[in-house]
Amino acid sequence: MDEEAGRLRNMYREKKFSALLLIRLAYQSLGVVYGDLGTSPLYVFYNTFPHGVEDPEEVVGALSLIIYSLTLVPLLKYVFIVLRANDNGQDEELTTYSRTPFHEKSFAAKTQRWLEGQAFIKSTILILVLVGTCMVIGDGILTPAISGVVVLVAVVILVGLFSMQHYGTDRVAWLFAPIVLLWLLLIGGIGMYNLSRFGGGVLKAFSPLYVYRYLRNRRKKSWLSLGGILLSITGTEALFADLANFPVSSVQIAFTLVVFPCLLLAYSGQAAYLVNNLHHSQDVFYRCIPGTAVVLVMLVTTLLMILVMILVWHCHWILVVVFTVLSLIVECTYFSAVLFKVDQGGWAPLAIAGVFLIVMYVWHYGTVKRYEFELHSKVSMAWILGLGPSLGLVRVPGIGLVYTELASGVPHIFSHFITNLPALHSVVVFVCVKYLPVYTVPEEERFLVKRIGPKNYHIFRCVARYGYKDLHKKDDDFEKKLFNNLFTFVRLESMMEGCSDSEYSLCEPQTEQSREFMLNNNGNTTSLSNVDFSISSVDSIVPARSPSHVNVVTFQSSSHCTEGDELEFLNSCREAGVVHILGNTVVRANRSSRFYKKIAVDYIYAFLRKICRENSVIFNIPHESLLNVGQVFYV
């Protein structure tokens, strides 16, 4: 229903954030986003110089590397570039969401056509996305375990944190924001104290010349020490991972004005202290395993950003090359250094990520195959309309809500249902729940309603749209809202029947060409004001035969029921009972499939489907009104 949905695009202005709200959100982001990045000063210098420091110039060189790592990766790459690739994040609502088209002969268009024609490349991109996601999970699992002084304290904090998460990010952020802010101000203040006490000679590290000297003089030692310096930018991926909770501008403000300067002061103060106490590098409260997954996440981000810059932002290829080369120089340098740490504990996040990668890939494969089965086995509207108003069955009082993943066409479970049962409800509504790549969908834009076929068929389609922060399972009034929108649609449809300014009006006679057009397009699509509904201007059918003796359907514009009659009919059907019909497609591997495919589909995917919440729970469907229609699909 893209055409119907697009009619509201300019009806609402883009959501704006006031300055006061931005400051509040920036403050809250401190408690959620910057915990890992803010605690890095506890262990960076220890891991960089585990055996002490021989020359004060080594400390200055390490500080220079830390300064430019923080500047290039978190500040420039993530805060000012990667965060813009936010899929609209929290900055735009549904009505302002759109995809910018590009010229057919542009570099972006050529790249898109090439990617769409390469199945291997598309699979590679999928693997890259899953690898990056799994690495973030692997690193996040280990972070609490390797950052605490006392295990018991860490366990208590974690239990308390997870027990509070059901209250939402807002309350958790308000609790931890003052703690993180106080911590950042303290380490920044201590850094200023050390600089004033031991002198600001280390500030010459802001010159990139000391990076070159550090790498040249220490050679292999400096290369291995990069694994410790890398810890100064761990947690950078959280800037992007937590973007769903905060708008881009709030994250940018918090990092630029608070986190970045406090970290620079903290590291500079530690360097000033170490220059005067060369053998105190081990006197650090925390020790940690080098978090290897972090570098892989950054590499994956860089590779995926190439596609974003070309296909979404339409950047010139020179800018793409510059960004890619600069990012890869920094990240590949760190990656080559942490490879030496894999056998010292860096394997742990990689192993965890590998397990999650298998799980995610199998789930994605099974889900895609289920959707492809529904897509390719859907029933044509001509077949449904050819059955007549009764659909070849006894229409009993009540309303049947048929849930499907298809936003167009008739799902296979419906034909499976009506060919195995002798009766069907008087009113049928195909319900499709779609999660869109936007932060949230306003309530007034939640539902798209459309009539399928003539009025006397009493068949409708309803698409319920949610953003990735809208929790459908908490929508207790889903059924009520659906019917309210259905009744509103009927009223609007009746109002539109008296209009004569639409392309195909009920008040005007229709030609053979218009009837054929409406058959192919399942009715005319119009809209009223800012209400997002599709209006069908037909209400009866007459079967006819074409010269090739193929049954076709043509439409007549006669009307046999008024708005009040249909609303009364719908209300009486609703009072008679509402049944939720869900399809339960079971995916099985063919007997001729290889053993690893059978293990993946018949065991791993089946187990994942079993432990996941059923659709009836997600849709908040009462068990007494639930009807499952099962079918088996072999891949």
pLDDT digits (tens, 9 = 90+) for 388-400: 777 777 888 899 9
CB under 8 Å to 524, separation ≥6 — which residues?
A: 502, 503, 504, 518, 535, 536, 537, 538
In the chain, what percentage of residues exceed pLDDT 90? 9
Q: What's the confidence (pLDDT) of residue 203?
A: 92
Compute the CA torsion angle 308, 311, 312, 313 (nearest 10 deg).
Answer: 90
pLDDT average, residue stretch 536-549: 31
Q: For residue 324, report the phi and psi dihedrals to the nearest 5 degrees.
A: -65, -45
Whether 362 and 608 have beta carbons less than 8 Å apart is answered as yes
Pair of tokens at residue 21: 């709200």
Residue with tokens 């059955």: 387
SS3 content of the chain, % helix, strand, coil (to 5): 60, 10, 30
Q: What's the confidence (pLDDT) of residue 207?
A: 92
Whether 480 and 443 have beta carbons less than 8 Å apart is answered as no
pLDDT digits (tens, 9 = 90+) for 195-214: 988 888 999 999 999 988 88
CB under 8 Å to 179, separation ≥6 — which residues?
A: 31
What count of other Cβ atoms lies within 10 Å of the Cβ of residue 456? 15
Q: What's the confidence (pLDDT) of residue 284?
A: 37
pLDDT average, residue stretch 220-246: 77
pLDDT digits (tens, 9 = 90+) for 501-517: 332 223 333 333 333 33
pLDDT average, residue stretch 135-140: 72
Measured over the CA atoms of residue 328, residue 333, residue 334 and residue 338, the dihedral's sign is positive
Q: What's the confidence (pLDDT) of residue 167?
A: 66
- Compute the distance between CA of residue 607 and CA of residue 554 in angstroms, rounded to an integer: 48
Question: Is pLDDT at 261 greater than 90 in this prediction?
Answer: yes
Instruction: Return the domain boundaries, the chain.
Output: 21-97+115-289, 292-341, 345-493+566-634
Q: What is the CA radius of gyration of the chain?
A: 30
Rounded to whole angstroms, what are the CA distances from 81 to 58, 76, 131, 355, 471?
32, 7, 21, 31, 29
Pair of tokens at residue 239: 């800037």
Q: For residue 352, report the phi and psi dihedrals to the nearest 5 degrees.
A: -60, -45
Q: What's the pLDDT band for 119 if we cut at 50, 70, 90?
A: confident
Helices within 339-436 (DSSP H only): 347-376, 381-386, 412-418
- Compute the distance between CA of residue 75 and CA of residue 239 in angstroms, rounded to an integer: 10
Question: Is pLDDT at 468 greater than 70 in this prediction?
Answer: yes
Query: At 284, is the secondary structure helix, strand, or coil?
Result: coil
Q: For residue 306, report the phi and psi dihedrals to the nearest 5 degrees.
A: -60, -45
What count of other Cβ atoms lies within 10 Å of the Cβ of residue 526? 21
Nearest to 177 by CA among 232, 84, 242, 269: 242
CB under 8 Å to 268, separation ≥6 — which residues?
A: 63, 191, 194, 195, 202, 203, 205
Q: What's the confidence (pLDDT) of residue 471?
A: 65
554 or 340, greater pLDDT: 340
Residue with tokens 């056509």: 113
Q: What's the confidence (pLDDT) of residue 552?
A: 30
61 DSSP assignment? H
Pair of tokens at residue 94: 């549904």
HSE, CB side, 13 Å, CA atoms: give it for residue 360.
Answer: 17
Whole-model pTM: value is: 0.61
Q: What's the confidence (pLDDT) of residue 615?
A: 64
Cα 478–chain centre separation: 22
The least confident of 274-288, 302-316, 385-399, 525-539 is: 525-539
Question: Is pLDDT at 194 greater than 90 in this prediction?
Answer: no
Q: What's the confidence (pLDDT) of residue 244?
A: 66
Question: Is pLDDT at 544 greater than 70 in this prediction?
Answer: no
Q: For residue 265, report the phi and psi dihedrals to the nearest 5 degrees.
A: -65, -40
pLDDT digits (tens, 9 = 90+) for 568-622: 888 899 888 898 888 778 889 988 888 889 999 988 988 888 877 666 666 667 7
- Compute the distance between CA of residue 446 and CA of residue 248 in angstroms, rounded to an integer: 25
Q: What's the mean pLDDT when you consider all of the chain?
A: 75
20 or 160, greater pLDDT: 20
Q: What's the confidence (pLDDT) of residue 505?
A: 27
The least confident of 4-18, 78-92, 526-540, 616-630 is: 526-540
Q: From its phi and psi, is residue 577 left (phi > 0), alpha (psi between -120 and 50) or beta? A: left
Whether 32 and 246 have beta carbons less than 8 Å apart is answered as yes
What count of other Cβ atoms lies within 10 Å of the Cβ of residue 571? 12
Whether 51 and 280 have beta carbons less than 8 Å apart is answered as no
Question: Is pLDDT at 34 greater than 80 in this prediction?
Answer: yes
